[in-house]
């Protein structure tokens, strides 16, 4: 890899991480940011499927998805990026999709990675 290519990749990574920190939360854990990216790529999936995709446990994934939704696990307002919906094919299951704010943020991240 050339120095120019490496520098360009690192700049892109820096812009990506800066966007996450400034748009979501300055202290957001990287695992929660990773969960957001996985949901962007796999909308309509539930906790078990998303946990399998990220290598996280089901309980950890459940907490991350809750944080990215409307309410943090502490009861405080959540990040508001994901919408929790009961799966119409299995009423005991919940699936996750992007809110309008989540779609806007996904597009911002995608634009950064295309530059």
Within 8 A by CB and 6+ apart from 22, the residues are none
How many structural domains are present in the chain?
A: 1
Q: Measured between alpha carbons, how far is 13 from 106 in angstroms, rounded to an integer?
A: 15
Q: Residue 87: what pLDDT?
A: 85
- What is the extent of the structural domain holding 93? 3-114
pLDDT digits (tens, 9 = 90+) for 35-79: 999 999 999 999 999 999 999 999 999 999 999 999 887 888 999
Q: Measured between alpha carbons, how far is 2 from 76 in angstroms, rounded to an integer?
A: 46
Q: What is the reported pTM?
A: 0.88
Q: Measured between alpha carbons, how far is 18 from 63 in angstroms, rounded to an integer?
A: 23
CATH classification of the domain holding 39: 1.10.10.10
């Amino acid at each position: 890899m050339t120095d120019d290519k490496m520098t360009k990749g690192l700049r892109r990574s820096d812009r990506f991480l800066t966007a996450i920190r400034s748009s979501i939360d300055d202290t957001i854990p990287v695992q929660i940011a990773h969960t957001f990216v996985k949901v962007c790529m796999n909308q309509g999936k539930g906790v078990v499927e998303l946990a399998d995709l990220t290598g996280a446990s089901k309980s950890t994934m459940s907490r991350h998805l809750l944080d990215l939704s409307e309410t943090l696990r502490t009861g405080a307002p959540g990040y508001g990026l994901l919408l929790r919906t009961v799966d119409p094919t299995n009423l005991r299951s919940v699936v996750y999709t992007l809110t309008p704010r989540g779609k806007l943020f996904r597009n911002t991240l995608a634009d950064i990675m295309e530059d």
